[in-house]
Chain A
Amino acid sequence: MTTAATSPKTATFARPSFLRRLVDANGFWRVTINFGILLVFIGLGILAPVLPLQNPVKPSPMNTLQPPSAETWFGTDRDGMDIFSRTIHAIRTDFTLAISSVLIGIALGVPLGAISGYYGGLLDNVITRITEVFQGFPQILFGMAFIAAAGNTLTNVVLIVAFYNIPVYSKMVRSVVVPLRDVEFVQAARVAGNPSLAIVFRHIIPNALVPVFAQLPLSCAYAVQMIAGLSFIGLGVEIPKPEWGSMIQVGANYIVFGKWWLSIFPGLALFCSVWVLNNISDILKSLWSRRV
């Protein structure tokens, strides 16, 4: 625990920097390794087009289903495309789609849940019922309907997935907010003259974020799954474009034939990403969930 640096006469309202606090709470290596891996992934994703990789979407009918070797580190898939290259290129697709859709879901779901929980009454009832209805829809069907109506663009895919995250976060936040209404610091905020909306955004939501952090990595994993599901039926990401979820799904059919490398490598990549995201979420949580 470090405190603010102060010169003898002047105090500062500032705290040690964010990174400094993360390191203090979690240890240098934990923070560095996890954020480091994340940055490596992101870096690879951004730089993918300029890296010396095989063309990820060029089929090579003579090299289909080759096991990993010196030329193709992760082997080739059923169209002869290099899995290593595809795995790396897929970072761009998966990271952007999954993370942005989950973040949009959070950005809409959290305030919705907080407002619903704090105001209660009719507003709460209406919002809860609506979110429950949406949660009940069969995801793929709704996805198909939406895309059929609105067009098959990546943005729409993001919107669909975001849409399904809204009730998840709304419900979670609402259940945390309801007991928070009566906590004394919220009453103190009212006594200080805060209008209700200010209370919700400044006092309630920051204190309801812990479960949100915990859920975020899981949501990203599910988002990848859902995107894969959509691309499997031809919606969203067009077939040749590399995307971990569909690579795993398609490759699963070949495991029976002994061709394990199609699914494993993108699977490992997904696993690593979610694991690192999980660790990062724990690291961020450490700053939020302090006890007095």
Chain B
Amino acid sequence: MNADDVLVVQNAVKVFTVRRRSLKRVSMTAVDDVSLTVRRGETVGLVGESGSGKSTLGRAILRLLDLDGGKVLFEGQEIQGLSEREFRPLRAKIQMVFQDPATSFNPTMTIGQTLVDAMRLAGHLTLKQKEQRALALLDQMQLDERFVALYPYEMSGGQLQRVALARALAPEPDFIFLDEPTAALDMSVRGQIINLLLSLQRQSSLSLIFVSHDLRVIRYIADRVYVMYLGQVVETGTKRAVFESPRHPYTRALLAATLIGQAERGEMRRAGMLAGEVTHRAPDFAGCRLYGRCRHATDRCAREPQALRAVAPDHWARCWRAEELAQSGWPAESGSVKEGLPTESQQATA
């Protein structure tokens, strides 16, 4: 860990006891030995679908729930063991943007009141100063001043998410965790939030974790990417490395499903496909979590736990067949997704 690391998560573990659909009580490891690092000024993209543990991890970082194992270090200081009282002053520096604008605002408070409430920890400011800052934040988010007197139900999703960002910025944080901030928004408005974030980062040394299952968005915003599946990190590296040469079958499946959208890409989509559904494994299952869905799986995959290993400089994947898959090729993104790409089977013979 070096001085430039704003946030370091080491071997985080969180276990829940849930009722499965069949009403039996099972323990489910939502976060299974996850480690990640965020450097100052960078955006880490956290990619994963339902059950991946990404939201749980976020809540653990924000101390909205407590980990069962592992550490979280914020600017060198361990925060997972602190009491709420000890941690509270740090809350100003660690903020969050939630997914659903419909439920992340108190319906009985105006936007102005919400923003002022978000500055609770800035005790040295007078009310007048807080109100001024609220107006300034709205302006920064390209929202008209008059929004300050509106209730959440009077605003659109896109507008509310910009307010959510303003709220997170209000206490002047060093780090913001954004949990699928654009998932509930129309595609045509997502770009506005993304570009606002990008310009914020250019101006300050704000560090972000941006969670999304939509790789189209991650592509713009992230510097480095962690891909999670069922509580584990299955691949991580720079954005370029992960997008251009994905080494884990799950990453490839995600890329095939989201990035490629033209009719003739049907082939490509199917080549990357996974079978079946997310299957939560019994605690005694030792093998790879993707077993049963992965088309490259062998017996070894079912027996042996997979570790995260380096497959290239600064690029890790949790699959013993990662190099083989690299051989069979993945079409490199030659500038634009609009060009025709060969299917995987064609590549294999090349």
Q: In the complex, A touching B, CB below 8 Å?
A: yes
**Chain A interface residues toward B at CB < 8 A:** 1, 3-4, 6, 11-15, 183-185, 187-195, 202-203, 206-207, 288, 290-292
Provide the residues of chain A in CB contact with B59, threshold 8 Å: 187
A191 to B152, CA, bound (A): 19
Q: Is the CB of B152 within 8 A of A292?
A: yes
Provide the residues of chain A in CB contact with B104, threshold 8 Å: 184-185, 188
Shortest beta-carbon distance, A120 to chain B, in Å?
A: 14
Provide the residues of chain A in CB contact with B91, threshold 8 Å: 191-193
Q: Is the CB of A13 within 8 A of B131?
A: yes
Q: Which of A191, A202, A203 has the most CB of B within 10 A?
A: A191
Provide the residues of chain B in CB contact with A1, threshold 8 Å: 154
Q: Is the CB of A192 within 8 A of B107?
A: no
Q: 6 nearest interchain CB pairs?
A: A11-B145, A4-B149, A184-B104, A206-B108, A193-B121, A292-B153
CB closest chain-A residue, reference B147: A11
A11 to B137, CA, bound (A): 13
CB closest chain-B residue, reference A11: B145
CB closest chain-A residue, reference B173: A191
- Cβ-based interface call for B110 (8 A): yes
Query: What are 10 pairs between A and B in contact, CB < 8 Å?
Result: A6-B145, A11-B135, A13-B112, A185-B104, A187-B96, A192-B170, A193-B91, A193-B120, A206-B109, A292-B152
**Chain B interface residues toward A at CB < 8 A:** 59, 62, 64, 84, 88, 91-92, 94-96, 98-110, 112-113, 117-121, 131, 135, 145-146, 148-154, 167, 170-171
Shortest beta-carbon distance, A189 to chain B, in Å?
A: 7
Provide the residues of chain A in CB contact with B92, threshold 8 Å: 193
Shortest beta-carbon distance, A190 to chain B, in Å?
A: 6
Shortest beta-carbon distance, A174 to chain B, in Å?
A: 19
Q: Is the CB of A192 within 8 A of B110?
A: no
Q: Is the CB of B112 within 8 A of A184?
A: no
Q: Is the CB of A188 within 8 A of B121?
A: no
Q: Which of A1, A12, A15, A292 has the most CB of B within 10 A?
A: A292
A287 to B123, CA, bound (A): 31
Q: Is the CB of B146 within 8 A of A192?
A: no
Provide the residues of chain B in CB contact with A290, threshold 8 Å: 107, 151, 153
Shortest beta-carbon distance, B62 to chain A, in Å?
A: 6
Shortest beta-carbon distance, B243 to chain A, in Å?
A: 30
Shortest beta-carbon distance, B131 to chain A, in Å?
A: 6
A13 to B117, CA, bound (A): 13
CB closest chain-A residue, reference B108: A206
Q: Is the CB of B153 within 8 A of A193?
A: no
A219 to B296, CA, bound (A): 67
CB closest chain-B residue, reference A203: B106
Shortest beta-carbon distance, A179 to chain B, in Å?
A: 11
CB closest chain-A residue, reference B135: A11
A242 to B103, CA, bound (A): 50
CB closest chain-A residue, reference B88: A193
Provide the residues of chain B in CB contact with A292, threshold 8 Å: 101-102, 107, 152-153
Provide the residues of chain A in CB contact with B106, threshold 8 Å: 185, 189, 203, 206-207
Shortest beta-carbon distance, B133 to chain A, in Å?
A: 12
A190 to B112, CA, bound (A): 18
Q: Is the CB of A207 within 8 A of B64?
A: no
Provide the residues of chain A in CB contact with B94, threshold 8 Å: 191
Shortest beta-carbon distance, A242 to chain B, in Å?
A: 40
A3 to B104, CA, bound (A): 22
Q: Is the CB of A184 within 8 A of B153?
A: no
- Given A188-B104, A193-B120, 11 more pairs with CB closer than 8 A: A11-B145, A12-B148, A185-B105, A185-B106, A185-B107, A190-B64, A193-B121, A194-B120, A195-B84, A292-B101, A292-B107
CB closest chain-A residue, reference B102: A292
Provide the residues of chain B in CB contact with A184, threshold 8 Å: 98-100, 103-104
Q: Is the CB of B150 within 8 A of A3?
A: yes
Provide the residues of chain A in CB contact with B154, threshold 8 Å: 1, 3
Shortest beta-carbon distance, A197 to chain B, in Å?
A: 12
Provide the residues of chain B in CB contact with A187, threshold 8 Å: 59, 64, 96, 98
Shortest beta-carbon distance, A121 to chain B, in Å?
A: 15
User: B121 is contacted by which of A192, A207, A288 (Cβ under 8 Å)?
Assistant: A192
Q: Is the CB of A191 within 8 A of B64?
A: yes
Provide the residues of chain B in CB contact with A288, threshold 8 Å: 108
Shortest beta-carbon distance, B100 to chain A, in Å?
A: 6
Provide the residues of chain B in CB contact with A207, threshold 8 Å: 106-108
Q: Is the CB of A191 within 8 A of B96?
A: yes
Shortest beta-carbon distance, A273 to chain B, in Å?
A: 28
Provide the residues of chain B in CB contact with A185, threshold 8 Å: 103-107
Provide the residues of chain A in CB contact with B103, threshold 8 Å: 183-185
CB closest chain-A residue, reference B95: A191
Q: Is the CB of A3 within 8 A of B62?
A: no
Q: Is the CB of A194 within 8 A of B117?
A: yes
When A184-B98, A184-B104, A187-B64 are in contact, do A13 and B148 touch as well, CB less than 8 Å?
yes
Shortest beta-carbon distance, A15 to chain B, in Å?
A: 5
Q: Is the CB of A13 within 8 A of B149?
A: yes
A192 to B98, CA, bound (A): 13
A189 to B117, CA, bound (A): 8
Q: Is the CB of A4 within 8 A of B146?
A: yes
CB closest chain-B residue, reference A4: B149
CB closest chain-A residue, reference B138: A11
Q: Is the CB of A202 within 8 A of B107?
A: no
A164 to B9, CA, bound (A): 52
Q: Which of B104, B106, B113, B145 has the most CB of A within 10 A?
A: B106
Provide the residues of chain A in CB contact with B118, threshold 8 Å: 192
